[in-house]
Amino acid sequence: MNARVLIDGPSELVFDYAIPEGMAVVPGCRVRVPLRKSTSAGTVLALADPAQADFAVREVAALVDPEPLITPVLLRMGEWIARYYGSGIESVVRSLLPEAVRTEENSAKTRRVAVLAREPDEET
């Protein structure tokens, strides 16, 4: 199975990447993919059957978020908005996922817990 990934950035770069065995990639989730000599973050727009090609398709490097950040309904609505208004899908996805959500530091929810080193006594 291949994932059609919209690369984060100023232009609309959409590439197909192979999904490694055991990786739960679904439309709307954020992934890290190889691009040229580095890796880039992107959003999975759709899943597709592997096309018959004369070249090897590179694999998704990592799953950034355990759950999709955009639901399938929002993805379909975003595609409709892009077609209707003649805009690029990148600008629509940027509206659906603002910068604060698209950054990898803020992408996954974390729960921070503090534990007391010792129980306070009555004097303190």
- Output the tens digit of pLDDT for each of the chain's 124 residues: 899 999 987 777 889 999 999 999 999 999 999 998 999 999 999 898 877 666 788 999 999 887 888 888 999 999 999 999 998 888 898 888 877 666 665 555 566 777 778 877 777 5
Q: Residue 85's pLDDT is what?
A: 95
Q: Residue 48's pLDDT is what?
A: 84
* Domain spans, the chain: 2-107
Assess contact for 44 and 50: CB atoms under 8 A.
Answer: no
Q: Residue 110's pLDDT is what?
A: 62
Q: Residue 109's pLDDT is what?
A: 58
Run of H or E residues at 76: helix 72-85
The DSSP symbol for 32 reads E
Which CA distances in Å does 100 have to 9, 28, 34, 115?
Answer: 14, 16, 23, 29
The SS3 assignment for 41 reads strand
Phi/psi for 101 (5° steps) reads -85, -35
Q: Residue 116's pLDDT is what?
A: 76
pTM for this structure?
0.75
Which CATH number is 2-107's, of 3.40.1440.60, 3.40.50.2300, 3.30.470.20, 3.30.450.20?
3.40.1440.60
Q: What residues have CB less than 8 Å from 26, skipping those under 6 apart?
A: 44, 47, 68
Strands (E), the chain: 2-7, 13-18, 30-35, 38-48, 62-63
Q: Residue 19's pLDDT is what?
A: 93
Q: Residue 53's pLDDT is what?
A: 63
